[in-house]
Amino acid sequence: MKKLEPWITLGTAFMKAGNFDQATKTFEKALDLAPESVPIILLLANCLLAKKESAKGAELLLRKADWLEPDQQDVWVHLGRALIAQGKLEEADEAFRHAIDINPVRATMLLPLFCPQPQIYEGEAGRRFVQQLTSYATTSEVD
């Protein structure tokens, strides 16, 4: 893990500075050192999503992360983001619902932060989704 720390620190610094191209390269190097590291996969997928040109690549990485460690809520939230970026709104809805099922209380905090795109909330499916989030927020206890 010590070999990874400098790459993660450097990649995170590049992300904070808005240099997503360099952050992507840095996280790719870290992933070369630890190809099954879900946290690094998440960081790399976030860079790809921030670049707004690599949503399909982010989706593929996130599906790999789910295969490596099933039912990680962060993976499903970011998978939903990648699917929205590709216009796959029904699949995104399914991903977000799965994230809610994993940990309803945490999902009510995460989803509004990562999913500001209004199109996911439109129509009947969107109303049900928001209603489900609201229901969990008002009836669930924090883990």
Radius of gyration of the chain (CA): 16
Range among 77-81, 119-123, 137-141 rated most confident:
77-81
Residues 21-31 as b or e (16 or more Cβ within 10 Å = b): ebbbebbeebb
CB-CB contact of 35 with 43 (8 Å): no
The residues spanned by each domain of the chain are: 5-139
- Model pLDDT for residues 76-94, shown as the tens digit of each residue: 988 988 998 888 888 988 8
Select from 45, 129, 89, 78 the least CA-distant residue to 137.
Answer: 129
Q: Is the pTM higher than 0.85?
A: no
- Model pLDDT for residues 61-76, shown as the tens digit of each residue: 999 999 999 999 889 9
What counts of helices (H) and strands (E) characterise the chain? 8, 0
CATH, range 5-139 = 1.25.40.10
